[in-house]
């Protein structure tokens, strides 16, 4: 990805390949930061250990909500109070206990006012996985705060995750700086299906190997947004 982005003409002054003031930038080297956040959430009772198996969760799942998203957790373990007895997160899943019915709103810099309801739009989400890896939600919140990120730009498939991350940021304390968010509409193919890894033929690497120039790739990617804005 780094190689393809450079080829496309995008440059950056901080990152895993060039270092910077807020390194290390590889998540695999930032475990101490994530563990510190885990301890804090554990001590303050925001998270609980969950021993539900994948099968338990599949059986309990009601109507599938969003295909991209984790299913709403049925809550079987949410009453557990033994979190503080764990010295390490490994061995069980850890979930954030969301405040059911709480409305979480934010102003997206691209898409405007967004509102989600905890417990309805998403349930108790994973913070640390049984195989001893922090979840995406926890890792990005911890990294954004530690790296003093002011603006997050990413795909609209993560809008709901922003609501989860806001809950995490509040739980981690008032000194956690909250960035602004800009969610981009997703790129879609001619039939309206969003581009994903299975559209290998439209990956930058593939286009590049087939002789396209960076300029023609950028023109292709930005055409729909540009015409929409001109209308």
**Binding characters for Zn ion, 74-113, by CB under 5 A (x = yes):** --xx------------------------------------
Query: Given the complex with Zn ion, which of 52 and 140 has the nearer CB atom?
Result: 52
Shortest distance (Å) from residue 38 CB to Zn ion: 17
Shortest distance (Å) from residue 32 CB to Zn ion: 27
Residue 187: how many other CB atoms lie within 10 Å: 16
Query: Given the complex with Zn ion, which of 48 and 116 has the nearer CB atom?
Result: 48
Cα 44 from Cα 24, distance rounded (Å): 28
Q: Which of 52, 92, 126, 145 contacts Zn ion by CB under 5 A?
A: 52
As a dihedral over the C-alpha atoms of residue 88, residue 72, residue 152, residue 90, rounded to 10 degrees, the angle is 10
Query: Given the complex with Zn ion, which of 50 and 104 has the nearer CB atom?
Result: 50
**Binding characters for Zn ion, 172-211, by CB under 5 A (x = yes):** ----------------------------------------
Query: Given the complex with Zn ion, which of 41 and 50 has the nearer CB atom?
Result: 50
Query: Given the complex with Zn ion, which of 53 and 103 has the nearer CB atom?
Result: 53
CB under 8 A, 24+ apart: contacts of 168-173: 168/41, 168/96, 168/127, 168/137, 168/138, 168/141, 169/141, 169/145, 171/41, 171/44, 171/46, 171/96, 172/37, 172/40, 172/41, 172/141, 172/142, 172/145, 173/40
127 binds Zn ion (CB under 5 A): no
In the chain the beta strands, taken as DSSP E runs, fall at 47-50, 93-96, 103-108, 112-117, 126-129, 133-134, 151-155, 180-184
For residue 106, what are the β-bridge partners? 114
Q: Which stretch binds Zn ion (CB under 5 A): 52-60, 138-146, 166-174, 179-187?
A: 52-60
Q: Which stretch binds Zn ion (CB under 5 A): 11-19, 49-57, 101-109, 182-190?
A: 49-57
Cα 118 from Cα 75, distance rounded (Å): 13
Applying CB under 5 A, the site for Zn ion has a residue count of 4
Residues in the site for Zn ion, rule: CB under 5 A? 50, 52, 76-77
């Amino acid at each position: 990805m780094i190689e393809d982005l450079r080829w496309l003409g995008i440059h950056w002054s901080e990152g895993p390949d060039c270092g910077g003031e807020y390194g290390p930038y590889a998540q695999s080297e930032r475990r101490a930061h994530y563990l510190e956040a885990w301890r804090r959430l554990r001590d303050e009772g925001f998270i609980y250990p969950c021993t539900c198996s994948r099968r338990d969760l599949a059986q309990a799942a009601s109507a599938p909500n969003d295909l991209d998203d984790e299913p709403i957790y049925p809550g079987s373990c949410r009453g557990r109070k033994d979190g503080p007895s764990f010295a390490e997160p490994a061995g069980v899943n850890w979930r954030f206990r969301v405040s059911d019915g709480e409305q979480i709103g934010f102003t997206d810099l691209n898409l405007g006012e967004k509102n989600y309801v905890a417990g309805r739009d998403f349930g108790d989400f994973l913070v640390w996985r049984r195989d001893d890896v922090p979840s995406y939600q926890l890792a990005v919140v911890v990294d954004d705060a530690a790296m003093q990120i002011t603006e997050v730009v990413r795909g609209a498939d993560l809008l709901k995750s922003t609501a989860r991350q806001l809950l995490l940021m509040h739980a981690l304390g008032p000194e956690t700086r909250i960035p602004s968010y800009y969610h981009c509409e997703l790129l879609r193919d001619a039939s309206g299906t969003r581009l994903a890894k299975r559209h290998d033929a439209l990956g930058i690497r593939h286009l590049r190997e087939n002789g396209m120039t960076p300029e023609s790739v950028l023109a292709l990617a930005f055409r729909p947004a540009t015409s929409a804005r001109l209308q």
